[in-house]
Chains A and B, each alone.
Chain A
Amino acid sequence: MPIDGIRRAFRRTGRDASTDVSDELAFHFARRVDDLVARGMSPDAARAEAVRAFGDVDHVRREMERMTRARQGRVRRGEWLGDLAYDVRYAARGMRRTWAFTLVALLTLALGIGATTATFSIVNAVLLQPLAFPNADRLVRVWERTDRADRVQLATPNLLDLKERSRTLAYLAGYMGGSTVVLGADKPVRAQAYAVTRDFFDVLGVRPVLGRPFVPDEAVENGPRAIIVSYDFWQRFLGGTRDIERRALDIYGTRYQVVGVMPAGFAYPAGAEIWMAREFGAGESRTSHNWQAIGRLTPTATIETARADLDGIMRSLAAQYGTAMNGSGINITGLADSLVGGVRRPLTLIFGAVAFVLLVACVNLASANLARGESRRQEMAVRAALGAGRSRLARQLLAENVLMAIIGGAFALIVGYAFTRALIWIAPANLPRLAEVRLDIRVAAFTIALATLTGVLIGVLPAMQVARSALRDAISAGGRAGIGVRRRSARRRRRAARGPSRVAAR
């Protein structure tokens, strides 16, 4: 490192690239003119000849300047990295020296950042990640509005009419059902079974991994009875064999042929294991609100245009059917919103509370650092006297704290993982999307960013304070120490700021 420093000190990277290039070319032309004059040419003729022989001077000069600047940029980046490596090594030495303080600080950081990581992993999975369907932002939930309630399930004829007439929905499908006894599998089981209309899997954009989707015939009344099962159900109760066409299931005394198996992890609505194709005739009541409904917007539609479109259809239906119908309008929201809308506020609150705890931990560590700073005045004064500028000292202190926070952050990932498991265990079972919670790359990135930010928060105040008082101490200690501080170019100051070993080597 010292050798490097000496070499760097003599390299002229600080000079302006264009001056450098001008000097180099000036020398060249001077030599050429000298040579030509020595061979008997007049100075004027020699100058003209030198320029002529060179070619396009301006073009070459610009090329040279461009390359010089590129080179200088690289060297500066190299110096910056060198400084950083030095800061980190110096900080690591300091941490070993004051190991008790380091231990307490690391523990505080690991717990604080770990708790924030754990809550973020839940916020991330529940609120931030898109649903696991293709183009999930196109998915909507649809309800009827009546005079009495805002979110009423759709009546069969209304569902069929909306689907038929809508210009903003590519697909609209209904589902209803719940826990049911299923016979005909390897043993009698209770399963979550849903009757769905024929568009159901098209809305969600997911196809079976084995077998086929429903065909239109299977949805109509008195058509063939077909059923699709979840991957998990297939594995557990149908032996996981590929000859599913040989299996049939009995539900409420009706026999359904198994035609498909959905991909692993597919479960809409939450917990669903079995889907039966089923639609009713158009002649049914418009006041029997049976269907939960989901739709997929066309590529050009928005929720607003769809609301206007569907509302219009409902109004004209209401006008047409009068008292035979009690729905008067439509309610529509994004599917993700409808799933997690209820927990957005509580989750945000919890996350905010935990973040505040981390902030308190930061303030604690910062104040501990300030107190420690008093005892480090000596060290800082010496370095200031040797020419380390305010920004250099501040950067050193910042580096110490950021390093501390990053190590703390690494521990926090472990703590966060444990906390996340614990949170999942104690979380209410009706928290949506809980199964999707995991420590993924996004959460890890969050933790690293949070750790860095924490380090800056802890370090910036002590850095300012210590650097300032160090300079004051150095100056008030008398002329000898003051020499190094004043009136130095930024570059020289940076070089000097490497600390005792660096300066001694120069």
Chain B
Amino acid sequence: MNTDLDLLRGTLDVLVLKSLIFGARHGYDVAAWIFETSRETLRVDEGALYTSLHRMENRGWLESEWGMSDNNRRAKFYQLTAKGRAQLKRSTADWTRYAEAVFLVLRAA
């Protein structure tokens, strides 16, 4: 299954934050991780991904650093700040509550 989902902006932000919980990644890696982890269901819109990264860096949720990627190219790595971690926790709670509510409605007999 390989569906292109039109991800809502808010959803994209929380997924990107989550992808960085295990350490710094560059943008390409973030997209790849989300794709794999969602069992190849969520294909992130790449343009939206990079604007999301910059937007969250401006909000102080992420910070960035230039470094070498595994195949020795210069890449911009993003990592969570304390503020970003707190935001991830909040968004996760919100999303879980929302999804559960939608399920409750959809599964009503």
**Chain A residues packing against B (C-beta within 8 Å):** 10, 12, 20, 23-25, 27-28, 30-32, 34, 53-57, 59-60, 63-64, 67-68, 70-71
- Would A31 and B28 count as touching, CB distance under 8 A? yes
Closest 3 CB pairs of A and B: A60-B47, A67-B54, A55-B47
Q: When the two chains form the complex, which single residue of A20, A30, A55, A67 contacts B46, counting CB atoms closer than 8 Å?
A: A55
In angstroms, Cα B51 to Cα A53, docked, is 15
Contact between A60 and B28, CB atoms less than 8 A apart:
no
Query: Would A24 and B50 count as touching, CB distance under 8 A?
Result: yes
B45 within 8 A of A: yes
Q: How far is the CA of A55 from the CA of B51 in the complex (A)?
A: 12
Q: Give the complex CA separation of A63 and B51 in angstroms.
A: 7
CB distance from B105 to the nearest CB of A (A): 33
A32-B28, A68-B54 known; A27+B47 contact, CB < 8 A: no
Selecting from B12-20, B71-79, B89-97, the interface stretch reads: B71-79
Residues of B within 8 A of A64 (CB): 50-51, 54
A-contacting residues of B (Cβ < 8 Å)? Answer: 26-28, 45-48, 50-51, 54-55, 57-58, 65-66, 69, 71, 73-76
Besides the known contacts A32-B28, A60-B50, 15 further A-B residue pairs in the complex with CB atoms under 8 A apart? A23-B74, A24-B50, A24-B76, A27-B26, A27-B28, A27-B74, A28-B26, A54-B47, A63-B51, A64-B50, A64-B54, A67-B54, A67-B55, A71-B54, A71-B57
Q: A27-B69, A55-B45 are in contact. Are A60 and B51 (CB under 8 A)?
A: yes
For the complex formed, measure the closest distance between the CB of A28 and the CB atoms of chain B, giving whole angstroms: 5
Nearest A residue to B51, CB-CB: A63
Say yes or no: A71 contacts B51, CB within 8 Å: no
Contacts A12-B66, A54-B46 given; does A27 touch B54 at CB 8 Å: no
Whose C-beta in chain B lies nearest to the C-beta of A53? B46
In the bound complex, residues from chain B placing their C-beta under 8 Å from that of A53 are 46
Q: How far is the CA of A371 from the CA of B55 in the complex (A)?
A: 53
Interface centre among B50, B66, B75 (most CB of A within 10 A): B50
A56 to B51, CA, bound (A): 12
Q: Which of A28, A31, A55, A63 contacts B54 (CB 8 A)?
A: A63
13 contacts between A and B (CB under 8 A): A12-B66, A23-B66, A27-B69, A27-B74, A27-B76, A31-B28, A54-B46, A56-B47, A64-B50, A64-B54, A67-B54, A67-B55, A68-B54
In angstroms, Cα B46 to Cα A216, docked, is 81
Instruction: Tell whether, in the assembled complex, residue A57 and residue B47 are in contact, meaning their CB atoms are under 8 Å apart.
Output: yes
A12-B66, A71-B58 given; A28·B27 CB < 8 A? yes
Residues on the A chain within 8 Å of B45, using CB: 55
- Write out the residue numbers on chain A whose beta carbons fall within 8 Å of the beta carbon of B66: 12, 23
Tell me, in angstroms, the Cα distance from A28 to B45 when the chains sit together.
13
Contact call A28/B73, Cβ cutoff below 8 A: no
* Min CB gap A75→B, angstroms: 11
CA distance A76 to B70 in the complex (A): 32
Most buried by A among B26, B54, B74: B54
Structural contact, A67 and B57, CB atoms closer than 8 A: yes
- Chain B nearest CB, measured from A207 CB (Å): 54
* Separation of A20 and B75 alpha carbons in the complex (Å): 10
What residues of chain A lie closer than 8 Å to B75, measured between beta carbons?
24, 27
CB-CB < 8 A to B74: which residues of A? 23, 27
- How near does chain A come to B69, taking the closest CB pair, in angstroms? 7
- Expressed in whole angstroms, the minimum distance between the Cβ of A400 and any Cβ of chain B is 34
B69 touches A25 (CB 8 A): no
Q: Name the contact of B58 in the complex, choosing from A25, A54, A70 (C-beta under 8 A).
A: A70
- Minimum Cβ distance to chain A for residue B59 (Å): 10
Given contacts A32-B28, A64-B54, A67-B54, contact A23 B46 (CB under 8 A): no
In the complex, which residues of chain A have a beta carbon less than 8 angstroms from the beta carbon of B69? 27, 31
Q: How far is the CA of A30 from the CA of B76 in the complex (A)?
A: 13
Contact present for B50 and A25 (CB under 8 Å): yes
A410 to B75, CA, bound (A): 53
Minimum distance in angstroms from A76 CB to a CB of chain B: 14
Q: Is the CB of A28 within 8 A of B47?
A: no
Q: Which residue of chain B has its CB nearest to the CB of A60?
A: B47
Tell me whether A59 and B47 are in contact in the complex, defined as CB-CB below 8 angstroms, given that A23-B74, A27-B69 are known contacts: yes
A446 to chain B, nearest CB (A): 39
Asked if B76 and A23 sit within 8 Å, CB to CB, the answer is yes
The residue in chain A whose Cβ has the minimal distance to the Cβ of B73 is A27
Nearest Cβ distance between residue B24 and chain A, in whole angstroms? 14
Contact residues in B for A31 (Cβ distance below 8 Å):
28, 69, 73
- Please indicate which of the listed interface residues A24, A34, A70, A71 has the most CB atoms of chain B within 10 Å of its own CB: A24
A70 contact set on B, CB distance < 8 A: 58
Kindly state the separation between the CA atoms of A98 and B54 in the bound complex, as whole angstroms.
49
The closest CB in chain A to the CB of B75 belongs to A27
A12→B75 CA distance, assembly (Å): 13
Chain A residues near B73 (CB-CB < 8 A):
27, 30-31
Asked if A67 and B58 sit within 8 Å, CB to CB, the answer is yes
Nearest neighbor of A58 in chain B, beta-carbon distance: B47
A22 to chain B, nearest CB (A): 11
User: What is the distance, in angstroms, from B3's C-beta to the closest C-beta of chain A?
Assistant: 15
Residues of A within 8 A of B54 (CB): 63-64, 67-68, 71
Which single residue of chain B is at the shortest CB-CB distance from A59? B47
Question: In the complex, A24 Cα to B28 Cα: how many Å?
Answer: 10
Nearest-Cβ distance from residue A36 to partner chain B, whole angstroms: 12
Q: How far is the CA of A31 from the CA of B70 in the complex (A)?
A: 11
